[in-house]
Amino acid sequence: MVGFRYLEGSALTYRNHYMSHRAITVARGDGIGPEIMDAALHILTEAGARLEIEEIRIGEKVFLSGHPTGVEPDAWESIRRTRVFLKAPITTPQGGGFKSLNVTTRKMFGLYANVRPCVAYHPFVATKHPGMDVVIVRENEEDLYAGIEHRQTDQVVQCLKLISRAGCERIVRYAFEYARRNNRKKVTCFTKDNIMKLTDGLFHKVFDEIAREYPDLAGEHWIVDIGAAKLADTPCVFDVVVMPNLYGDILSDVAAQIAGSVGLAGSANIGEKFAMFEAIHGSAPRRAGQNVANPSGLLHGAIMMLVHIGQPEVASLVHNAWLKTMEDGVHTYDVFAAGVSKEKVGTREFARAVVERLGQSPEQLRAVQYFAGASQWTAASSPAPKAKKELAGVDVFLDHVGDEPRELARRLEDCATGRLVLHNIAARGVKVYPDGFPEAVTGDHWRCRFAGHGVVSHRDVIDLLSRLEAAGFDFIKTEHLYNFDGQAGFTA
Ligand code: NAD
C-alpha cells in the first residue's frame, strides 16, 4: 500500500473526522493518468470526501519494470479488500505485451454494467446537440467479448457470441433501476434481433419482460442500426439506453463524442460486489507530463464513485462546482474556444478553479443533486427456468473443397444413419442444398444439418461422425440441435 500524496497541504483540514472514511483503491495509470488523478483527488479531498486511499500500480510502467501482466502482485488484493477502484487510464501496448487490463478487471470482478452519462454543456462546450443528456448502459461481460475465436478452415475464422438469460436480466434490470433512482423517464433497448433471433432475441425478450415490472417508466426497443443513426442525429429523444456489449462499446463512444468531447465523460463499471470508476478516454501519451490534460472525465468517474460509496452530498458539491467552472469559461485546451472560454488553464489550475467554486452552483447549466441509493444496489437475476431439453439433430461443419453442393449432399447421404438423415447444407449461412440458389458463393466451409427421427442420442451423433470420418470428411465442429420444451433452440 502506498500513501496518497496530496497536492495541497491543507486538504485534510476539510475532512469531517466524525464520519467514517471509506477505503478505495486508486491506480494513477500511464501517460496523463498521474496528472489527472492528482487533480481529481485534490478536488475530492478539498470537497470533504471521506476516503482512505490504497494506491496500486498497474499498466505500462509496471509491465516495463518486469511484470508481464502489467500488474504488481499485490494490486488485486487491494481491490478485493476495498471493492471500489478508481482507475486512471493505462496504455495498452499494441501488437504484444499484456492483455487489456480493462477487460481483465471487468471479467475478474464481475463488473457487468458499464454506465456512461453523455451530457452536453451548451453553450460552454461546443456541441451539435445542445440538450443532449443520455445515459448509455452497456452490458460488459458477454456477447462477442467472451473472446472465443477459432480458425476453422483456410478461409474461415469464427467468433462466438454468447448471451445468457441471467446476463440479460442483470443488465436490463440495472438499467431500469438506474432510470427509476435517477429520475429518468424512459429506457430504450437496442438490439439486432431481426438478424440474431436467438442471441439478441433473448436480450429483447428479457427487456420486454422486465419493462412490464416498471410501469412508471416508458420502455421501447429499436433495431440497433436505425437506433444508432437516430442517436447520432437526434439524441434528445433518448434517455437511458441499454444494449449488449459490442453495440454499447461503439455507441457509448459515439454518444460521448457527439455530446461534446470524449475528454469530459466518465464511466462506472458496476458488479454485484465490486465497482470500478474511470474516465472514458485513454492515456493520451503525447500530452503526458505537460500539465495540459483535462481531468474532467476522471472527475466525473470519481463523482459516480462518491454516489456509489454513499457520499452523495460530496458528489453534488463537486459536480456543481465543476459545472460553475465550465460556465465561468475556465477551460483546458481541449474544450477551449475563443469567444466562449475566458481562461485557458492547465490541469492543476483547472483543479484549483473547481476547488475555489466548491459550494457554488451553476446559473445556466442545470445543477445536480445526488442522493443515497442512486447507484448502489444489486440487480439480481432470477434462477434460470429449467426446460425439458431434447436432442433433435446435429449441425456438422466441414472443411471441404472439390464438390458441388449436390455432389457433396450425395456423399453425405451415404453417411447418414437410420437415426440421423441429411436435412440441408448451407455455406456462410445461405442454403445451397436442397433447392439452393445456383448463384450462391461457396468456399471451404459447410454447415451440414442432420435431422433426427424423433429424439436422438449422443451415441447417434458419434455413429454419424464415425461414418463421416471413414468417408474421409474433415469435420471441424459439431453443434447439437436441441429442442427446449418442444421449441427449437436453433435457427431454421
Ligand atoms: P486517448 O483517449 O488516450 O487520446 C486521444 C487524443 O484525445 C489525445 O491525443 C488527446 O489529444 C485527446 N485527449 C484524450 N484525453 C484527454 C484529456 N483528458 N485531456 C485532453 N486531451 C485529451 O486515445 P489513444 O491515443 O487512442 O490511446 C492512448 C492509449 O490509451 C492507448 O494505449 C490505449 O490503449 C489506451 N486507452 C486506455 C483506456 C483506459 O485505460 N480506460 C481507454 C482508451 C484507450
Which atom of ligand 1 is nearest to 295's Cα?
A: 18
Whether 365 contacts 326, CB under 8 Å: yes
pLDDT at site 13? 32
State the cell numbers at 68.
508481464
Distances (CA, A) of 109 to 69, 71, 85, 103, 298: 16, 15, 11, 10, 20
Please tell me the distance from the alpha carbon of residue 82 to that of residue 54, in angstroms, as a whole number.
8
DSSP, res 91 = P
The CA 253 to ligand 1 mean position distance, Å, reads 12
User: What residue has cell string 436490463?
Assistant: 172
Half-sphere exposure of residue 2, counting CA atoms within 13 Å on the CB side? 12
Work out the pLDDT band at 378, boundaries 50, 70, 90.
Answer: low
Q: How far is the CA of 284 from the centre of ligand 1 (A)?
A: 4
Closest ligand 1 atom to 294 CA: 19
Fold of 128-259: Isopropylmalate Dehydrogenase (3.40.718)
pLDDT of 126 higher than 80: yes
Pocket mutation for ligand 1, best pick of 281, 294, 322, 333 (most atoms within 8 Å of C-beta): 281
Delimit the domains of the chain by residue range: 1-111+270-373, 128-259, 389-488
**How many other β-carbons are positioned within 10 Å of the β-carbon of residue 487?**
8
pLDDT tens-digit profile of 75-111?
889 999 999 999 999 988 776 666 778 878 888 899 9
Residues whose beta carbon lies within 6 Å of some atom of ligand 1: 32, 36, 89-92, 102, 263, 278, 281-284, 286-287, 293-294, 297, 334
DSSP state string for 63-78? HHTT-TTSB-TTHHHH
| Confidence (pLDDT) at 72 | 84
C-alpha cell at 90: 493505462
In whole angstroms, give the CA distance from residue 421 to residue 283.
57
Q: Which three cell numbers stand for residue 66?
A: 518486469
pLDDT digits (tens, 9 = 90+) for 455-473: 899 999 999 999 999 999 9
> What distances in angstroms separate CA 444 from CA 415, 423, 449, one per listed residue?
19, 19, 16
Residues contacting 272, CB < 8 A, separation 6+: 110, 112, 378, 380
- Fold held by 389-488: Alpha-Beta Plaits (3.30.70)
- Output the pLDDT for position 455: 81
Q: At what angle do helices 199-211 and 165-181 cross, to 10 degrees?
A: 40
The confidence band for 1, taking pLDDT boundaries of 50, 70 and 90, is very low
pLDDT at residue 376 is higher than 80: no
Would you state the pLDDT for residue 84?
97
Segment 341-361 mean pLDDT: 98
485 torsion bin: left (phi>0), alpha (psi -120 to 50), beta (else): left
Structure confidence by residue, pLDDT tens digits, 289-340: 999 999 999 999 999 999 999 999 999 999 999 999 999 999 999 999 999 9
Q: What angle do CA 103, 256, 224 make, to 5 degrees?
A: 75
Q: At 397, which helix (H) or strand (E)?
A: strand 389-399
How high is the pLDDT of residue 100? 74
> Can you spell out the DSSP letters for 5-65?
--SSGGGGGGS-TTS--EEEEEE--STTHHHHHHHHHHHHHHTT--EEEEEE-BSHHHHHT
Same fold for the pair 1-111+270-373 and 389-488: no
The amino acid that residue 461 corresponds to is: V
1-111+270-373 domain in CATH 3.10.105.10? no
What is the rounded distance in angstroms from the CA atom of residue 118 to the CA atom of residue 252? 8
Tell me: pLDDT of 155 over 70: yes
